[in-house]
Structure 1
Amino acid sequence: MPLRREQVVEAALELLDEVGLDGFTTRALTDRLGVQRGALYWHVKSKQELLAAVTELVLRPVFADDGREGGDWADDLVEYAHRLRDAMLAHRDGARLVAAHVTVNRSGVEQLARALERYTSQGIPVPVAARWGDIISSYVTGYVLQEQTAPAGTPPADAEPWFPDGHPSSAETFADSVATIVLGMRAEAASLTPASHPG
């Protein structure tokens, strides 16, 4: 049975989950697939293209159609932030992978266009909506990068006076931070002209 591109990408993601980005090689992937290097490069022209395809696979759940229509733009942004974090945390070195290898292909452009339409329908100008999306994406990627590279352990003992009820979990801190960012965006939305106010 001929090797399919989807098989190559899925196998690459499995290998990445096992060895991480630093240990990933195309030689290890071809050994895993039981094929010669030429068979691999029939489907992807380079390691960079392969990692970009793997990144697209990692991010697929973030943009899965949930059937929602006409949701509040702020709720959409919060949902996007949590989906993005979950997708990166689901894979070893997920944030590093996304930060270094995310690309915008044809399907990505179409997804972006649909997302921007939802914002403009609520009075948010395209440049503002695009900037907000970039802010959220950058924050989430940086946050998860810290989560995935920080040494395991508990908060330092001297943190106790600041958190008498216990140090918040990483998930709680993330959720509160996203809420703060979106609160600032709501304030900006309120400052827009009446014609572009989300209502």
Structure 2
Amino acid sequence: MTKMNRETVITEALDLLDEVGLDGVSTRRLAKRLGVEQPSLYWYFRTKRDLLTAMAQAAMAPHAAEPLPEPGEDWHGWFLRNTRSFRRTLLARRDGARLHAGSRPTADLDRVRRKMDFLVASGVPERHAQMAMLAAGRFTVGCVLEEQAETGAGDTADLPADVPEIDHESAFEAGLALITDGLVRHVDAR
């Protein structure tokens, strides 16, 4: 039996996620993996939703550990790095985008506020900064959802010859450029 605490449960749950995917994660399967009875998990998490929320937060740790922007730093370069870091973090876990989708950054609100304050201090109108962060986040989750779904879908040989194969990295970068280019116009107009 594994020595149990909240962190151990989350770590084992994330390892289970990587092995079986989000649809395969169950409290019964997790309890078996930990060598405990299923009800003992409720000591740490009242519901499966609570467990998934904690897993999503832990899975985002690499992105949350990225340095916050410094005053005077180029906002455009920072925005690109921040969004790319978010994508890398989602891709690091099997079904990482599905796990993250719909979660709220409640544990990360101070960091989010500091990022928003940085953009506004850099000359980005507040409403545009909010919408750009939201759009970039949702765009990134959508891109990763598609990429991770395709990874498990198998062969694309049944597509017609005139349908190009998608290079996920290039498609992501092109979309990110469209978001930041639009934001640049609002900063320049100010």
- TM-score (normalised: structure 2): 0.87
Aligned to 2:54: 53
Paired with 2:125 and 2:85, the residues of 1 have a C-alpha distance of 24
Distance 1:57 1:66 in 2: 17
> Do the aligned partners of 1:16 and 1:92 also contact (CA within 8 Å) in 2?
yes
How big is the shift at 1:68?
Answer: 5.2
- What CA distance in whole angstroms lies between the structure 1 residues aligned with 2:166 and 2:101? 26
> What does 1:111-122 correspond to in 2, within 5 Å?
111-122=111-122
Q: CA deviation at 1:39?
A: 2.4
Change (3 A) 1:158 1:95: same
Q: How does 1:40-189 map to 2 (within 5 A)?
A: 40-66=41-67, 69-70=70-71, 71-100=73-102, 102-105=103-106, 107-150=107-150, 151-153=153-155, 156-159=160-163, 169-189=167-187
Mark the runs of 5 or more structure 2 residues left unpaired by the alignment: none
Aligned to 2:146, the other structure's residue is in SS state helix
SS at match of 2:162: helix
AA partner of residue 108 (structure 2): G
Q: Distance in 1 between matches of 2:184 and 2:80?
A: 12
Between the aligned partners of 1:67 and 1:137, the Cα distance in structure 2 is 17
Sequence identity percentage: 33
Partners of 2:68 and 2:82 in 1: how far apart?
A: 14
Task: Say whether the 8 Å CA contact 2:22–2:99 is kept in structure 1.
Answer: yes
Counterpart code for 1:158: D
State the match for 1:197 in structure 2.
none
Cα offsets for 1:79-102 (capped at 9, x unmatched):
1221111111111111111114x1
Per-residue CA deviations over 1:58-77 (Å, capped at 9, x if unaligned) read 11111213365232222122
**Would you identify which runs of 4 or more consecutive aligned residues in structure 1 move more than 2 Å?**
36-39, 65-68, 123-128, 150-157
- Unpaired runs of at least 5, structure 1: 161-166, 193-199
Query: Structure 1 residues 67 and 128 mapped into 2: Cα distance closer, same or farther (>3 Å)?
Result: closer
By how many angstroms is 1:22 displaced?
1.1
Q: Residues 156 and 60 from structure 1, CA distance in 2 versus in 1: closer, same or farther, beyond 3 angstroms?
A: farther
- Give the aligned residue type for 1:58: A
**TM score, norm. by length of structure 1:** 0.83
Structure-2 residue corresponding to 1:164: none
